[in-house]
Amino acid sequence: MTITEALRKLLPPDRCLVDKAALAAYASDGVTAFHVVPLAVVLVESHQEVVEVVSLCHLHHVPFVARGSGTSLSGGSVPIENGVVIAMNRMNRIIKVDLEACLAVVEPGVTNLSVTKAVQPFGLHYAPDPSSQQVCTLGGNVAFNSGGAHCLKYGMTSNHILGMKVVLPDGTVSELGGPFAEGVGPDVTGMFCGTEGLMGIATEIYLRLLPRAERYHTILVGYQTLEQAGDAVAAVVESGLLPGAMEIMDRLAMDAAEAAVQSDFPAGSEACLIVELEGPAEQVTAEVPKLESILRRSDSVEVRIAKDAEDRMRIWKGRKSAFSAVGRLSPDFIVQDGVVPRRRLGQALRRIDELSKACGLRVANVFHAGDGNLHPLILYDGRNQGELERAEALAGKILLMCVEMGGSITGEHGVGLEKRDYLPAMFDSSSMQLMRDIRSAVDPSELSNQGKMFPVTGAPALVMRGLHPMEKTGLISRE
């Protein structure tokens, strides 16, 4: 019996897709330059179905990848050739909300924003807020350790995951962490976050919930140059203030967002900075004069304070729509994701501008300025011969610049397919081998999201058989 025959025996025909037209919808994720038609797509609805599908893949030695809404911007959820896509969107239940313990238990297909909507009446929220939070799912957020505009103050996804139930690549089940803020022993939950699906699939996730801020104070500041906006971020951080968020957009990004959602960005500026204080009313009131003084001394051309909640949401709607809105400026674009030290933001932005002009391609800049997480959007037209290759080359130069400045090739989008060849620029051979060994200890056959993160030209991963070495150490347990 083939793997497709086994899957069709396990699931109803409408939840095991093998028709080419149906498979085409799953061939790409947010990086449309990568396009692979899978062998089959299964639409799972329960933890047990995930166990059975993964077990079948392991038995037939067929690679698989879990997929949520397909919003990955690194090619991380692109299918594997002759592999199976396990679509998780139907596992979208909020299983439990414990108001006293401030936690929620959710399935991986639950969208990020729906958690906050569910607990908002109780004065709580889920802090990580990626730009795609209306559609991205918690399973994908865990896989790529997503951040968002407010990660400066609240941290990444890994800082808000208390525990998980995961299906390992051979179909066995492990419980990582649990419903407690403080665990005992190694932080295996934290290690699992950000492994891009290479170590299995989370089927239940324990989320930490936080009280909603009592007061918000949002300021939109215009600048004549991107470098001035970057220098203003450094000045705010050096002052000792810890805003909830600091975001920068350049003129291209502002124009695109303005056309899409009419956010009324500063008309006479080449860059804008969004700074938001949040927290107890007393604390925010005390911080406002200090912040406004810094911003008015930072060579700004306009300082605009959100008048009310509606005005604040209009500003944030413009920022969070920027990625998709850039599609109005160009038929194609690459969203890059690198990190530089905050003190070098101005220098990095100046260098991106130089690289853009030398390459002859426009770059729209949108990024989480508070933690130095750059998101340059490289605009190109794939219909023009060689333009995609030029865009990819420019993206690579930006990544190498980030590493040279003491930063990283990714802040929250992951490595995926897009950046795997740049991983050795950050890590030496022994560190690379350690990462491969950890992956091989959990997935000796390398079936789970095969071909992602690690360069394909690197040394073959160490193959281990029998009992998982991690189980010997007590780091994982089986059901």
Residue-wise pLDDT for 230-247, tens only, equals 889 989 989 999 999 999
Q: Which tens digits make up the pLDDT trace of 91-118? A: 999 999 999 999 999 999 999 999 999 9
Same domain (yes/no): 62, 101: no
| Residue 479 in domain | no
Q: Maximum Cα–Cα distance for the chain, whole Å? A: 72
Same domain (yes/no): 106, 153: yes
The CATH code of the domain that includes 193 is: 3.30.465.10
* Dihedral pair phi/psi, residue 93, rounded to 5°: -95, 140
Joined together, the tokens standing for residue 368 give: 């989480």
Q: Tally the domains of the chain.
A: 5
What's the whole-number mean pLDDT along residues 289-297?
95
Joined together, the tokens standing for residue 277 give: 């204080």
Same domain (yes/no): 125, 188: yes
Predicted pLDDT of residue 323: 81
Same domain (yes/no): 206, 228: no
Boundary-marking domain end, from 87, 121, 147: 87
C-alpha span between 85 and 425 (Å, rounded): 30
Same domain (yes/no): 207, 128: yes
C-alpha span between 468 and 441 (Å, rounded): 6
**178 compared with 195, residue with greater pLDDT:** 195
Boundary-marking domain end, from 194, 211, 228: 211
Predicted pLDDT of residue 478: 32
Burial class for 218, CB neighbours closer than 10 Å (0-12, 13-18, 19+): buried
What's the whole-number mean pLDDT along residues 193-214?
97
Predicted pLDDT of residue 183: 67
Same domain (yes/no): 175, 199: yes
- List Cα–Cα distances, 385 to 31, 327, 375, 381, 393, in angstroms: 19, 20, 25, 9, 14
| Residue 477 in domain | no
Same domain (yes/no): 275, 343: no
Confidence of residue 264 (pLDDT cuts 50, 70, 90): confident
Q: Which tens digits make up the pLDDT trace of 359-374? A: 999 999 988 888 899 9
Amino acid, res. 254: M
The CATH code of the domain that includes 25 is: 3.30.43.10
| Residue 478 in domain | no
CB 367 within 8 A of CB 325: no
The percent of residues above 70 in pLDDT, for the chain, comes to: 95
Joined together, the tokens standing for residue 221 give: 């500041």
| Residue 43 in domain | yes
Boundary-marking domain end, from 329, 350, 380: 329
**462 pLDDT exceeds 50?**
no
CA 45 to chain centre: 24
C-alpha span between 117 and 133 (Å, rounded): 12
CB 89 within 8 A of CB 68: yes
**466 compared with 405, residue with greater pLDDT:** 405
**321 compared with 293, residue with greater pLDDT:** 293
| Residue 390 in domain | yes
The secondary structure of residue 382, as a DSSP letter, is T
Same domain (yes/no): 409, 323: no
Those residues whose C-beta lies under 8 Å from the C-beta of residue 72, and which sit 6 or more positions away, are: 29, 30, 31, 78, 140, 144, 413, 414, 416
Torsion of CA 402, 408, 410, 415, to 10 degrees: 110
| Residue 184 in domain | yes
Same domain (yes/no): 183, 239: no
Same domain (yes/no): 116, 187: yes
Same domain (yes/no): 325, 217: yes
The CATH code of the domain that includes 318 is: 3.30.70.2190
| Residue 455 in domain | yes
Predicted pLDDT of residue 458: 39
Burial class for 190, CB neighbours closer than 10 Å (0-12, 13-18, 19+): middle
Place of tokens 């008048």: 307
Q: Is the dihedral of CA 34, 40, 45, 51 positive or negative?
A: negative
Domain assignment of residue 149, given as a range: 94-211
The percent of residues above 90 in pLDDT, for the chain, comes to: 77
Those residues whose C-beta lies under 8 Å from the C-beta of residue 93, and which sit 6 or more positions away, are: 106, 107, 110
Closest CA to 19 of 43, 38, 2: 38
| Residue 65 in domain | yes
Joined together, the tokens standing for residue 275 give: 């700074």
Q: In this structure, are strands 64-67 and 103-106 parallel, antiparallel, or unpaired?
A: unpaired
Average pLDDT over the chain reads 91
Same domain (yes/no): 79, 103: no
